[in-house]
Structure 1
Amino acid sequence: MKCPGQDTQYWKPGAIFDAKCPECGSKVEFFKDDTSRKCGNCGHRFVNPSMDFGCAAYCQYAEQCLGNLPPELMAQKEDLLKDRVAIEMKKYFKRDFKRIGHATKVARYAERIGKREGGNMAVILCAAYLHDIGIHEAERKFNSTAAKYQETEGPPIADGILTKLGAKQALKDEVCDIVGHHHHPRDEETLNFKVLYDADLIVNLEEKHKEKPFNADKLIRVIEKSFLTESGQKEARKILLKEV
């Protein structure tokens, strides 16, 4: 069966169009399902500016449908994956809005920190959305939300979600490794782990501060001692101490 989006019998006017070459400005004819084309004038190959590759982030038939995506699109494919992971996280937690809100906020801070520090944003954001995914199983099996139980129960669930969405093995392995020890940094850690750890720490401190406010001196000591990245520390100061 052919994907309807790629089957010409479903195409509408505009499915074949001209795009301007970004190098020389010549017109290059594109079909809507072309991933890229080479300019006949200067030889520059560029990505189809009108193609939506969103489905490639999660469809198990994407490779057969689209073939090998151009290198320029591989980062986009992984970036789109985190949006699907966010949806699956919300489906998994159902009406547990506390956990959904926590994971969403961690992802927001992780994105800010990660963009300043570098690192693989697909890994960072997938880990952010899934870092506490084991908490329901921890409660069910052990009647506890303790970190060690979350870290034990989380990786198999995270792996199942990422496998369902067609994530690459290397990304799955790293995300599951982070989920499996996200409260316990090792002596040597990846930048991706550090970014997630700092984002989670900010949210945890923020939640505790709302329940029982810390004084400013204590917050400063915690921030100076506990964070693993400079950007995480700056974000914590901004969020918790309201520094500009």
Structure 2
Amino acid sequence: MKCPGQDMQYWNEDSIYEVDCPKCHKPVEFYKDDTNRRCHHCNHRFVNPKMDFGCAAYCQYAEQCLGTLPEEFAGAQDALLKDKVAVEVKRYFKTDFHRIGHAARVARYAETLGKSEGANVAVLLCAAYLHNIGNTSSGEEPENSTSAIATDILTRLKTKTAMLEAVCALLEKNNTAETDLALEIQLLDDAARLAVLEERCKQDDPVSSEEIEKIVAELHSNEARRLAETLLASASA
């Protein structure tokens, strides 16, 4: 069966349209399934601004269906991977809502820090969700390491090899010239510390000044320190 979105029998009068070239502003005709076209006036090639690449972000047959995806959307599959990883982590923890909540908090801080510091957010977020998956709340020795469990999850999600290796390297804090994850390692550590600080601020017993000083002193980025100050100010209000 052909994808209905690409099958012309399902098209209507809005499926063929003109878009102004961003360079010379002359009209260029697009079919709804054109990923990009070249302007016949100035020879500038540009992406179809009306095309929805949503399905291509997760479909394993995207390139066969649409051809080579434009560079602007090539990272969409990696960006969407974090959502799939989040679902798998919830399934792994089952009813352990404390650990599910902790993973979500680490990921939230990781995303904020990653965007602020210009890090590889897709890799950072996947690692943030997975960073505590090999540990047990009871303190017992886990059957498999965090990296081994993460590898299993990412493999089942058909993650690209480069992405899988980068996430696992980040989880292992294994920075090499090939991975170049020094920044992401620091930010993942900051995100985990901020999540713990937020959880401590919500507990009945207040966070001691010694604990606060220790946590803040161990943060790497200025943005993490700013977030810590915001957390503490909110807790004391």
TM superposition score normalised by structure 2: 0.83
Secondary structure of the residue aligned to 2:37 is strand
Deviation digits for residues 117-145 of structure 1, max 9, x if unmatched? 1111111111112222334xx46xxx536
5+ residue gaps in structure 2? 175-179
- 2:58 is aligned to 58
Aligned length: 229
- 1:223 is aligned to 216
Deviation at 1:203, TM superposition (A): 0.6
Q: Is the 8 A contact 1:155 1:176 kept in 2?
A: yes
- 2:154 is aligned to 162
Return the letter of the residue paired with 1:130. L
Q: Is the 8 A contact 1:59 1:166 kept in 2?
A: no
Secondary structure of the residue aligned to 1:6 is coil
**Are the structure 2 counterparts of residues 104 and 117 from structure 1 closer, same or farther at C-alpha, using a change threshold of 3 Å?**
same
Q: Distance in 1 between matches of 2:232 and 2:140?
A: 25
- 2:30 is aligned to 30
Deviation at 1:181, TM superposition (A): 5.2
Return the letter of the residue paired with 2:76. Q
Q: Distance in 1 between matches of 2:91 and 2:51?
A: 28
**Are the structure 2 counterparts of residues 43 and 230 from structure 1 closer, same or farther at C-alpha, using a change threshold of 3 Å?**
same
TM superposition score normalised by structure 1: 0.80
Deviation digits for residues 173-203 of structure 1, max 9, x if unmatched? 1112223459xxxxx9611121111111111
- 1:185 is aligned to none
- 2:164 is aligned to 172
Deviation at 1:11, TM superposition (A): 2.8
Q: Distance in 1 between matches of 2:199 and 2:120?
A: 27
Q: Distance in 1 between matches of 2:92 and 2:10?
A: 35
Q: Distance in 1 between matches of 2:161 and 2:210?
A: 44
Question: Within 5 Å, which residues of 2 pair with 1:11-160?
Answer: 11-135=11-135, 138=136, 144=139, 149=142, 152-160=144-152
5+ residue gaps in structure 1? 183-187
Q: Is the 8 A contact 1:54 1:77 kept in 2?
A: no
Q: Distance in 2 between matches of 1:75 and 1:157?
A: 24
Secondary structure of the residue aligned to 2:19 is strand
Relative to its length, the structure with more helix (as a share) is 1
Deviation digits for residues 45-102 of structure 1, max 9, x if unmatched? 1112122222233222222222221222223332233233323333433433322222
Deviation at 1:241, TM superposition (A): 4.1
Higher relative CO (Cα under 8 Å, sequence separation at least 6) belongs to 1
- 2:206 is aligned to 213
Q: Distance in 2 between matches of 1:36 and 1:70?
A: 7
